[in-house]
Amino acid sequence: MTTMALADEGVLWKPKKAETEQAKHAFDKLDAILRETVARHEGPQVFLKRALDSHISIPPKAIEWMVQILKEVALGNAVTLIPIHAVMTTQQAADFLNVSRPFLISLLEKGDIKFQKVGRHRRIQFGDLLDYKSKYENERLEALARITQRTQALEGDHFDLADLKELKGKKD
């Protein structure tokens, strides 16, 4: 029997060895069918007819997720499905963002991430955590684009410390 925790915060599947083998076999078959279906520009109904010999309509994204889940399980990895409305503790949220709990709390207190207080405990809705992560990622990519643009403007030119100070002065 698979270890599975089912609650509002999500589902965790830690596959056994036999399930890993089954998933590997299923992944290989479904991935091949999905690739063929996409190559022929056929919809999800054709995919399932070939895969299950029946007519079931499943959104294409759900099929892609199913294939990805099988791939991870085939590799022996645990898989978690977290609904957008799930409420997380500060430790769970920090783990998800791969930051320390004190750093996460500083983000909460600055108002960067919405949260609710339940008694003296802070709770974060998973959707709000995803919003923060997306915003942070966009800001990071914009900063990288600016750095790349500045680097390309200076590329080929010989520059020294004075040039860098001038560049910094333009920023301020």
CA angle 27, 28, 31 (to 5 degrees): 75
- Predicted confidence at residue 10, as pLDDT, reads 64
3-state secondary structure of 80: strand
**What is d(CA 125, CA 86) in angstroms, rounded to the nearest whole number?**
6
Q: What is the pTM of this model?
A: 0.59
Token pair 């759900």: residue:
62
Q: Can you list the residues of the chain whose pLDDT is less than 70?
A: 1-11, 42-59, 155-172
- Predicted confidence at residue 128, as pLDDT, reads 96
